[in-house]
Amino acid sequence: MRVFIATLSLFSLLFPIRLISQTIPYIDWPFDQEYHDGYVVDPANEEANDIRSVQPDPKGNIWIASKGGIYRKQVDSRTWKLMINGPARGPAYDVALDGNGHIWIAAWNGVYTDLSGTLTKTEGPKGPIAVITTAPEGVYALGPPGVWLYQNEHWDKKEYAVARSIRAAVSDKQGGLWIGTDVGLYHCSSDQCILYQDTNELISAYVRGIDYHESGTIWVGGLGGITIRDQTGKVSKKRPRDGLPNPNINVIKRAPDGMMWIGTDYGISRFPGNGSTYSVRLSKRWLMSDEVRDIAFDREGNAWIATNGGVSCIRKRPMTLAGKADYFYERMIRRNLRDPWIIGRFRLTTAGDTTTIVPDDDDNDGEYNAMYLAMESFRYAATGEPEARERAKKAFDFLHFLREVTGTDGFFARTVIPADWEQMHDPNRSYTPQQQAEELIRNPRHKPVEVRWHQSADGKWKWKGDTSSDELCGHLFGYYCYYRLAADEAEKKRISRHIGLITDHLIRNNYYLTDVDGEPTKWGVWSPESLNRDPDWAPEKALNSLEILSWLKFAAKITGEEKYQQAYLQLIREEGYLENAKAILHPNPAFETYFDIFLTLYVLPALVEYEEDPTLKAEYKTLLEGWFARNRKIRSPLVNFTYNLLTGKRDELDHSITFLKDAPLDLVDWQIDNGRREDLSVVREPILEELQVNHLRPPSEYRSLRWDKNPYLAVAGNPYQEREPVYWLLPYWMARYMDLIQAKRTTKVAAHRGAGQYAPENTLAAFKKAIDLGVDFIEIDIRRSADNRMVILHDATLDRTTNGKGRVNATTYEALKKLSAGRWFDKTFADQTIPSLEELCAFVETYRQQVSSQVNLYVDCKDVNVPEMVAVLKKYHLLEGAVFYGSVQVLSEIRNSYSAARLMPGLRRMEAMDPLIEQIHPYAFDVRWDALSVELITKAHEQNILVFSDGIGPGREGIEIYRKAIGMGIDLIQTDRILDFQQAIQFAHQHDRE
């Protein structure tokens, strides 16, 4: 959808990008999005977190062998239970799963197994046992005392002549065993053991990890890298230069999809089975600790990783770019917004702990909020959503306030904070004469700013002065996008007046941004007196000349004031500012900073689009082409899409999409030390003054949370902050606006009362399973107890789904909580109780953060207290995404309590559509399955209303039926048969590709 159809022709004149829609865009298909889930086994016991091995079992439980003993985490828990206590407790070394689903554990005193149903020590192998591995013929236990095989319900000791330093073992599937030791690789069979240790056989004799590649070769890892062997001997090898971040290999495991996972002393490297480019996982973004001891995979293909600092799980879930945008946007509004409408970084009082988040100020809040303003403007232009326009206005209001709060004639602040904040960056200070001398020697342009924070006239705010050129550039980009894409006529007048006041201030002060002390700010300098006649301003001469030309051109265009055009031409003709600017294409290495790329990006659009003189326009286009040619190598979608916006091209689309897919969901600014990686080299390029790595890695491997941060940096990050995701959302919505990314209308799924095929309906177990299955909504039914407490239960009576009897509204909440809501389904769910609405919301909010889910609530309002329901959902950040189903009366009450509520009345026939639209302006219609038709769905979509339906019951369930509804264009199917739906949607996507 596009905004204001009548203005499309105007947009096509202003932005050549409209031509791009004639080329082939990227279709937004689902992809696997990875994310990290970390576990501390025991915060009070360091040895418990020193993990040697990990193994999921068929029930979804996770077993670990640690220095502190054997632990298990049950499938629905985050708590680890110590399985062996008392004198038998001690270190364990390896865990394996046999073909029958039984766990085997190598421990200090022998072997433990759950063959009998409980974990017990077996008689036979003498401890300590270092390695346990399964084979067609049985289970092998290996350690310094020897090698045993469990077969036919008893242990036999094998007479293998091998070294006692056993580190790894794997079956050859033909009755033999490969054994890795400190002195080489053994292959043992019934009649002999052959040792391979020479350098023509292995990189080195120290072997710690072994597994088979899907091609049949065997990968042998240890000190120095990986040797790849076939039946004839060594055929290849992998050393650090081939993609290993560290040459000390601890484990090699093949994933279900054929990818080879390599655990090292410094992270994980992964080699796809098809031989494409490797990827690396390290740092707290992906691992609890970088020393990796073991890797195992569960039934869903998630990787469980044993480290010397806890257990990690690298999970994956299907996601589209549109879904990723929704995830980031919802999280941003919930976690990165502070008054008066500032989207920015927040501080974590404990490093990496996202539960300790508190508001924070940033030196460049104005600049980055301008990026948010640009993002909302593109979002509005791409979708026409009123919310995007409203929030763009709020973002502009903040930038406008930054000027007003100073009480001056055009100077604007960097940021504001509430007046009662006691902690802020760059607090006011004083300088002694000696300190001032030191600063002047270091930087002769230094300005001693002792009063940086000022009180607002109304006493409500503190505002930060000494505003920089970076701020002006960022503001300009935001104003430009807002004016072009989202501002109505009234707002355009506000922008024009605001820009005029700032421009008058600059001209009146000879192009210095002048603070309340009457002096220029440290960096707000565009005056010819400095740029052209002070040699110490040579580093900023080119870029600052371009900046002020762009500001004046923008001001002249939107205000219509000739005086700004004359000032612009004077700087070009009399001061040579355009000639100055050309030097940005060949800067002196001493003057170059990485962020200059993006300051240039901020100011080029106004010059390229607004200049009408053919000669000057050609000069700016030449600058644009040269700037892009220099910077396309950084593969930034913001750089690429800005260039495409101004040229009508689609350059670097593949790299941009790769970035958007690969960028992590985790917004903690983890420190990432790529300088320690031995697959990379540390260099002084592209920026001479910084230590960087020699190759640009994918964004999941570097600090990728803001565009001003150099992606080549060897070491970067601050885990005491959580960044806002505007860096990702802005290029995404630019591409959506330009039709470079085409959002595929995808039918979503709601889990009817949770995943009722797997767990008892309307219980936390059912809701957790539904979220694990990746549903978009979980449908809940709300009723009230006799004492007016809201609980989650479908039936009006207790008889069918609990061990109680009678009506729900005749039973107190205390009595309801004593009932089992799961025993009727299966005795293993006997502990499941009837959740209260508050319990359900607390669980969903916590769990969806743990697993990076975007799930929302589909609320069937059977018997509700509307104000209380709205308050609870708001408390747990579930209100905005919730869809409410109920009677027209109840839905009207909800709208009165929350004006933006997504309401969904039932629609039984098409003739009732218009009256319902007039009555409650719904977000969606719940349409009876037998009333669905292409005509009805199309008519609803023409009114921007979605269509939901229940695929439940005879004639409404099954893959073929769901495929038919998907083909009609239905927006959501509520179902018990989640996997059937997923197969139907997968078929639809495959059919569309073909």
User: Would you please indicate which residues are annotated as catalytic (active-site) residues?
Assistant: 752, 794
509: three-class secondary structure by DSSP: coil
Residues across the chain: 994
Could you give the CA distance from residue 738 to residue 243 in angstroms, rounded to a whole number? 37
Name which of 841, 831, 924, 931 is nearest 884 in CA terms: 924
Q: Are 323 and 641 in contact (CB under 8 A)?
A: no
Whether residue 148 contacts residue 130, with contact meaning beta carbons closer than 8 Å, is answered with no
Backbone φ, ψ for residue 461 (5° rounding): -135, 155
8 Å CB contact between 121 and 131: no
| CA–CA gap between residue 994 and residue 982 (Å, rounded) | 18
Strands 26-27 and 741-742: parallel
HEC profile for 629-662?
A: HHHHHHCCHHHHHHHHHHHCCCCCHHHHHHHHHH
Long-range pairs of 176-180 with CB within 8 A, sequence gap ≥ 24: 177/133, 177/135, 177/140, 177/147, 178/210, 178/218, 178/220, 179/142, 179/147, 180/207, 180/208, 180/209, 180/210, 180/220, 180/222
Cβ neighbours of 12 (radius 10 Å): 14
DSSP state of 807: B
* Contact (Cβ atoms closer than 8 angstroms) between residue 314 and residue 286: yes
Token readout for 417 is: 């904070």
Quote the CA–CA distance of 102 and 63 in Å, as a whole number: 11
Percent helix, strand and coil across the chain, each to the nearest 5: 35, 25, 40
For 359: left if phi > 0, alpha if psi spans -120 to 50, otherwise beta; the answer is beta
461 forms beta bridges with 418
- What does the alpha-carbon distance between residue 146 and residue 798 come to, in Å, rounded to a whole number? 60
Please report, for residues 172, 578, 608, the alpha-carbon distance to residue 623 in angstroms, rounded to integers and kept in the order given: 62, 10, 9
**Beta carbons of 242 and 266 less than 8 angstroms apart:** no
Give the amino acid at 163.
A
By the 8 A CB rule, do 65 and 107 touch? Answer: yes
DSSP-derived 3-state class of residue 591: coil
